């Protein structure tokens, strides 16, 4: 499950993590956009629920210096030995440049360089290296983790997917349908033993299809108009079907852009229906090659009306081992 859950203060997440654990969820994965940072919700989970596996999906490679990113990862790996996976990625110009005042230059090379730095630093090595996009002088972690965390790379298109396959311990996919998964995995090349495929999957467990599609259209127009995601979906073959959305968005017509997203695209990218139907759709991702399907739970009318009790019931319904593996 993606954490933290919206509308619930972090201080109240002890009950959320307990509910997830009781419902059979094995993993909690954080994100980092403009809400919480990636590490704090996982540090709380490490303390409150020692059985849960933890992951970041993702921590941007631009918004922390290499040394600070290594320290944050090492601290969480020390707090949860063998239970933490570090997911990194380039993020986007809006988050990096506009919100964090950092130049968004050469995202592929920066991601590759941070991956290589972290690999050495988290092993406890002294890093004294001139990389293509930054230079590190004599950095050594004072507390290298006894169990270095696996490093997963967020990847959309062939170049980054091939980098993940060649140098990372896994890949993190996002904003794709179950039918898109084989196309992405084909770019990874031959995978090493233990290589892990994670995917964030947007799930709106309500049978109010109109509500779910309206919310889904809003999310799609927010994300898939970002150049990297637009190029990703062109590569996946949605150039023609999403062209009206992109044209309306470029013209400043936000309402028209949302209206231009076809139902079939929404239904493929944002799962909705009963909890049982959503679990069945998540299983399709697992069958297509995803090892760790990560729910991103969207608000529903039922939970909004029913409060904490409805949320607890929903988590229990969703957590009935949809894939026979990590959830």
Collapsed DSSP state (helix, strand, coil) of residue 2: strand
The pLDDT score that the predictor gives to residue 327 is 40
For 186, residues 6+ apart whose C-beta sits below 8 A from its C-beta are none
The pLDDT score that the predictor gives to residue 321 is 56
For 142, residues 6+ apart whose C-beta sits below 8 A from its C-beta are none
Of 123, 284, 278, which is closest to residue 203 (Cα–Cα)?
A: 278
Model pLDDT for residues 219-233, shown as the tens digit of each residue: 999 999 999 999 999
- 310 half-sphere exposure, CB direction, 13 A CA radius: 11
The pLDDT score that the predictor gives to residue 320 is 65
The pLDDT score that the predictor gives to residue 306 is 84
Whole-angstrom Cα distance, residue 197 to residue 105?
A: 27
The pLDDT score that the predictor gives to residue 305 is 85
The pLDDT score that the predictor gives to residue 212 is 98
The pLDDT score that the predictor gives to residue 323 is 45
> Where are any strands of DSSP class E within 218-281?
270-272
- Residue stretches of the chain with pLDDT short of 50: 322-327
The pLDDT score that the predictor gives to residue 307 is 87
Model pLDDT for residues 106-163, shown as the tens digit of each residue: 999 999 999 999 999 999 999 999 999 999 999 999 999 999 999 999 999 999 999 9
């Amino acid at each position: 499950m993606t954490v933290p859950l919206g509308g619930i203060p972090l201080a109240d997440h002890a009950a959320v993590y307990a509910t997830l654990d009781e419902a059979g969820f094995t993993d909690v994965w954080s994100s980092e956009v403009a809400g919480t940072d990636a590490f704090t919700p996982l540090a709380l989970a490490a303390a409150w629920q020692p059985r849960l596996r933890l992951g970041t999906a993702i921590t941007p490679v631009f918004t922390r210096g290499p040394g600070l990113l290594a320290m944050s990862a090492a601290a969480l790996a020390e707090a949860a030995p063998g239970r933490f996976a570090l997911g990194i990625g380039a993020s986007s110009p809006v988050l990096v440049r506009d919100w964090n005042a950092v130049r968004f230059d050469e995202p592929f090379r920066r991601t590759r360089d941070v991956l290589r730095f972290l690999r050495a630093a988290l092993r406890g090595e002294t890093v004294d290296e001139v990389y293509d996009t930054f230079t590190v002088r004599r950095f050594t972690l004072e507390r290298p983790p006894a169990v270095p965390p696996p490093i997963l790379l967020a990847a959309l298109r062939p170049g980054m997917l091939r980098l993940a396959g060649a140098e990372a311990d896994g890949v993190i996919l996002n904003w794709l349908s179950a039918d898109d998964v084989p196309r992405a995995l084909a770019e990874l090349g031959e995978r090493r033993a233990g290589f892990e495929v994670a995917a964030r999957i947007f799930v709106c467990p309500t049978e109010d299809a109109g509500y779910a599609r309206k919310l889904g259209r809003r999310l799609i127009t927010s994300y898939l108009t970002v150049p990297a995601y637009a190029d990703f979906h062109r590569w996946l073959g949605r150039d023609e079907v999403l062209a009206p959305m992109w044209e309306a968005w470029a013209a400043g017509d936000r309402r028209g852009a949302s209206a231009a997203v076809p139902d079939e695209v929404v239904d493929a990218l944002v799962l909705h229906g009963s909890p049982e139907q959503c679990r069945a759709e998540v299983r399709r991702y697992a069958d297509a090659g995803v090892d760790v399907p990560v729910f991103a739970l969207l608000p529903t009318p039922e939970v909004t009306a029913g409060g904490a009790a409805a949320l607890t019931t929903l988590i229990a319904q969703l957590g009935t081992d949809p894939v026979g593996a990590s959830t």
